[in-house]
């Protein structure tokens, strides 16, 4: 039998993106109503490269099997503003509504 605490510790060490509560919420929302074993979303692009190079991660890109309309529906009435940043290419951007002037903001881009 697996020790789930040990697995959690490994995940936190090797997958730092999951430390962020916004990202946990986003992944939970993206996987909501998905079949149990289906891969609905994964980290891609610069955030992965920057993590591997030990550089500061300033935005997060997530590829998903969902359509832009499905994403917009899932995040309607949440703390994220939805921006149609590239609908022709299947991309939307989520920006945290909790932006304070001069503070960093949370930007997540989704592409299907």
Contacts 24+ apart (CB under 8 A), 14-21: 16/51, 17/43, 17/47, 17/51, 17/57, 17/60, 20/106
pLDDT band at 111 (very low <50, low <70, confident <90, very high): low
Query: b/e per residue, 73-110, with b = 16+ CB within 10 A?
Result: ebbeeeebebeebeeeeebbbbbbeeeeeeeeebbbbb
pLDDT at residue 98 is higher than 70:
no
19-111: CATH superfamily: Beta Polymerase, domain 2 (3.30.460.10)
Q: What is the pLDDT of residue 60?
A: 83
If you count them, how many residues does the chain have? 112
Which residue, chain included where needed, has tokens 């996987």? 31
- pLDDT tens digit sequence for 42-97: 888 888 888 888 888 888 888 888 888 999 999 999 988 888 888 888 888 888 76
- pLDDT tens digit sequence for 2-56: 566 666 665 556 666 666 788 888 888 988 887 776 778 888 888 888 888 888 8
Radius of gyration of the chain (CA): 15
pTM: 0.68
- Please give the backbone phi and psi of residue 63, each rounded to the nearest 5 degrees, phi first: -90, 140
């Amino acid at each position: 039998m697996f020790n789930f605490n040990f697995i959690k510790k490994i995940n936190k060490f090797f997958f730092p993106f999951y430390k962020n509560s916004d990202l946990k919420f986003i992944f939970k929302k993206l996987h909501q109503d998905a079949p149990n074993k289906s891969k609905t979303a994964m980290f891609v692009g610069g955030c992965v490269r920057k993590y591997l190079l030990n550089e500061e991660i300033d935005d997060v890109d997530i590829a998903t099997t969902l359509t832009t309309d499905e994403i917009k529906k899932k995040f309607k009435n949440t703390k994220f503003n939805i921006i149609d940043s590239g609908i022709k290419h299947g991309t939307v951007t989520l920006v945290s509504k909790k932006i304070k002037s001069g503070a960093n903001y949370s930007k997540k881009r989704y592409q299907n």
